[in-house]
Amino acid sequence: MTLSRRDLVKIGAGASAAVALGVRPGLGRGPRDQDVLNLRPIPSTGEELPVVGIGTARRYDVGTSAAERDPLRKTLAVFRELGGTLIDTAPSYGNAEVVVGDLVSDLGIRDDLFFATKVRKEGREAGKAEIASSFKRLRTDRFELLQVHNLVDTETQLATLREMKDAGTIRYVGITTSSNRQYEQFAAVMRAETLDFIQVNYSLASRGAEEVILPLAADRGVAVLANVPFGRGRLFSAVGDRPLPDWTAEFDCESWGQFFLKYIVGHPAVTCVIPGTAKPEYAADNMGAAMNRLPDAAMRTKMEEFFDSLT
């Protein structure tokens, strides 16, 4: 489904100013008034999410100074103004939960956002304690999504998460990985458990999830978050200072960042991609990847062939 930008909450003069931040060489212009935002349904409920979110690993592990936090505050403001909702974080990301919680509270946008965090502890009580800390750090009394991080004590932690879902303190349950080495175990959990979400590494430089994980998610009716979409910088290094091919206009692509993100969300099993985003101009550019036409299967194959020719 698509949503007109005019229908987005809090879009207006503030959004126009935000888009202006995205105009710089090498980046797309960000969303404009005529753009439409692509949404994907969460299979277990039908609730729709914008196809681009924000990941907070490393980039939001900062201190309390204005110099460190102001760019992140502006980034979150631009992200929300342009229709973004899903922010993914974790207790293991250093200060990221605290920083996100503080900035979202300062901006007054918590009710507009979809918070996803994680638990990565052995044992029931340790897991519950970590989750309790996340509520405090993120300054919230609910999470939209809570995920078992990297399959740590999965059975125990999923039992706790289901209790919380029944109690109404979380809405969705999931599991995560960012390593191809865990795929066999990950798929086994997907087959054995009823899950709302999975999170997995997927990009032009790492397509292994296409073999089993993404088809299985589609078969099981599970939403997919895609992490490490830029291959920790490898994709940008591969294209260097090359101009975009002319044919990228066929799916409304205006930057290499949008090229890489649109490739991912062009896969029908992917619900939302979560690039690490710590600058407002990058938030504007990334949200441009959520807009308008996405590549179909034939175009995605062409994108793969082009990228593979560079590596």
Percentage with pLDDT > 70 across the chain = 90
> Do residues 185 and 176 lie in contact, with contact meaning Cβ atoms separated by under 8 Å?
no
Question: In the chain, which stretches have pLDDT less than 50?
Answer: 2-25
One-letter amino acid at 92 equals: S
Please report the pLDDT score of residue 10 as a whole number.
38
Q: Which residue has the tokens 């007109």?
A: 4
Give the residue among 307, 304, 275 at the shortest CA–CA distance from 53.
Answer: 275
Please report the pLDDT score of residue 159 as a whole number.
98
Please report the pLDDT score of residue 299 as a whole number.
98
Q: Which residue has the tokens 């690039």?
A: 275
Please report the pLDDT score of residue 30 as a whole number.
66
> Do residues 204 and 211 lie in contact, with contact meaning Cβ atoms separated by under 8 Å?
no
Give the residue among 224, 234, 306 at the shortest CA–CA distance from 268.
Answer: 224
Please report the pLDDT score of residue 301 as a whole number.
98
One-letter amino acid at 129 equals: A
Domains of the chain from N-terminus onward: 2-308 (3.20.20.100)
Per-residue pLDDT tens over the stretch 149-181: 999 999 999 999 999 999 999 999 999 999 999
**Cα separation of 232 and 226, whole Å?**
13
Please report the pLDDT score of residue 28 as a whole number.
72
What are the distances in angstroms from CA 284 to CA 9, 76, 131, 226, 254? 16, 10, 31, 19, 12
Cβ neighbors of 51 (< 8 A, separation 6 or more) are 38, 39, 40, 265, 270, 271, 272, 273, 289, 290
Report which DSSP code applies to 203. B
pTM score, two decimals?
0.91
Per-residue pLDDT tens over the stretch 238-292: 999 999 999 999 999 999 999 999 999 999 999 999 999 999 999 999 999 999 9
Cβ neighbors of 274 (< 8 A, separation 6 or more) are 52, 53, 54, 55, 86, 88, 199, 225, 226, 227, 229
